[in-house]
Amino acid sequence: MFPDLTRDDVFRIETRRLWLRWPTAKDAPAITKLAGERDVAEMTDRIPHPLERHAVDAFVLRLRSANSTGTGLTLALAQRAAPTSLIGLVEISGHDGAPRLGYWLGRPWWGAGLMSEAARALVHAYFAYAGGERIEASALPSNPASRRVLEKAGFAWTGRGPQACPARGGDREMDRFGLERGAWAAAAAALVPEPELAAVW
């Protein structure tokens, strides 16, 4: 799914305020603390609560393996002023078939538009460098902030229905979204380049 460009852990995307880089073992304590908060975990379909440190260690290894084989791309979010300090994760994965965008952000950084900035940058990289044709995503109906992230990245609502939620042990009703290459390309051509996208290495 992803090209050789992204399959080395020196790869990163720089935006106006963020570094998006490969997660490392040193990020495990921050992931455990931030993603383990109930308010964060319950807005996702894959993060259990409580979140155990040993599960996070295994999770980071799986992410790095998927990154290195190109079957997905998960990047740690860090503010440019503190590039080693993880504040969230953003990913495009193929674990359920079609490529899917997923993300979470630590609660102290909610409301500042950081996840919108990160999601747009990763979506751009997916279509521009990986040659993708479509990305899907979902959000809880009770999470309007997540819906805004998707809409700002160009996603369109495609319906509502049950979705498997492994961390909750069943299905949850989710709003579903999709973004096609054509829609992304048309929007990209109509706009001045995103001011927050600084560089992709």
Neighbours of 130 (CB within 10 A): 17
pLDDT, tens digit (0-9, with 9 covering 90-100), for 155-169: 999 999 999 888 777
Closest by Cα among 14, 11, 34, 31 to 22: 11
Residue-wise DSSP of 75-142: EEEEETTSTTSEEEEEEEE-TTSS-EEEEEE-GGGTTSSHHHHHHHHHHHHHHHHS---EEEEEE-TT
Distance CA 135, CA 140 (A): 17
pLDDT of the residue at 188: 84
How many domains does the chain divide into?
Answer: 1
Residue 171 structural domain:
4-200
Rounded Cα distance between 66 and 7, Å, is 9
DSSP strand pairing (86-93 vs 134-139): unpaired
Q: Are residues 158 and 147 in contact, defined by beta-carbon separation less than 8 angstroms? A: no
Check: CB of residue 172 under 8 Å from CB of residue 165: yes
Interval 72-122: pLDDT, tens: 999 999 999 999 999 999 999 986 578 999 999 999 999 999 999 999 999
**What CATH code is carried by the domain that includes residue 81?**
3.40.630.30
Inter-residue contact 85 to 62 (CB < 8 Å)? no
- pTM for this structure? 0.92
CA dist list (Å): 164 to 45, 161, 174? 8, 10, 10
Average pLDDT for the chain: 92
Closest CA to 88 of 135, 49, 151, 41: 41
